[in-house]
């Protein structure tokens, strides 16, 4: 299965939060023993992440993943276009699945 494409718009200087629900065969995917991670970069091939999202799976059996970026982090990143992806993985990266990928439009903050 290929990663789904989902573009994000994030306001620089603001808190950002999104929740994704993962289903498999029509039911919520059980994410027990999985963790999630996501980063954004200036280019897909960039060796350095511009920012790292905080990802959590609060209730693994409901298949939901929370992805957040704090206002302190979004303030520290220059406005512009970035690329990101979201992965789930098990201990030791024995299983890694990229769920989402896309572009991030980080809009310029005016009030400082």
CB of 107 within 8 A of CB of 47? no
Q: Give the CATH number of domain 4-107.
A: 2.60.40.10
State how far the Cα of 66 lies from the Cα of 110, in Å rounded to an integer.
27
Contacts of 46 (CB under 8 A, 6+ apart): none
State how far the Cα of 67 lies from the Cα of 35, in Å rounded to an integer.
12
Q: Where are the domains of the chain?
A: 4-107
DSSP tag of 29: -
pLDDT in tens, 79-91: 999 999 999 999 9
pTM higher than 0.75 for the full model?
A: yes
pLDDT band at 112 (very low <50, low <70, confident <90, very high): confident
Q: Which residue has the tokens 């789930």?
A: 88
């Amino acid at each position: 299965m290929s990663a789904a494409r989902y573009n994000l718009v994030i306001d620089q200087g603001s808190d950002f939060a999104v929740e994704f629900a993962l289903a498999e065969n029509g039911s919520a995917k059980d994410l027990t023993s999985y963790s999630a991670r996501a980063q954004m970069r200036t280019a897909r091939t960039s060796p350095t992440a511009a920012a790292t999202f905080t990802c959590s799976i609060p209730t693994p059996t409901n298949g939901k993943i929370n992805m957040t970026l704090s206002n302190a982090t979004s303030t520290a990143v220059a406005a512009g276009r970035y690329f990101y992806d979201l992965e789930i993985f098990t201990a030791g990266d024995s299983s890694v699945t990229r769920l989402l990928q896309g572009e991030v439009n980080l809009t310029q903050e005016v009030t400082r």
